[in-house]
Amino acid sequence: NAFQIVNGGGATLLYAWCVPAAQAANYEVYASLVSGSLSAGSSATDTWLALTTTRNWLVSTTTLKYATINVGIRRVSTTTILASADINLEAEAV
């Protein structure tokens, strides 16, 4: 799932990667940094990761303000990427 956090509040679901969620064990996610920098605590980049565990790619106003990542999804049993997108991450002090 992809979430948005505003002003340190609760996470708001933007969209689901895998529906139904019970199928997540069959998929992996890959994120590659396109531009900017990610904050400490971000999940690994440039490696396939199981969708069964929460993954976080973060930016914050205290360290970094923006990044673009390319995210891909594939089935565990194949190397074919089923979906991919560039995602812009941005943090702004309020």
* Cα 66–Cα 67–Cα 71 angle in degrees, nearest 5: 145
Over residues 11-47, the pLDDT tens digits come to 888 777 788 888 999 999 999 999 998 888 899 999 9
- For residues 83-87, average pLDDT: 92
Phi/psi at 25 (5° precision): -65, -15
* pLDDT number for residue 31: 95
Q: Which two tokens stand for residue 46?
A: 């440039």
| pLDDT value at 68 more than 70 | yes
- For residues 54-80, average pLDDT: 88
| pLDDT value at 88 more than 70 | yes
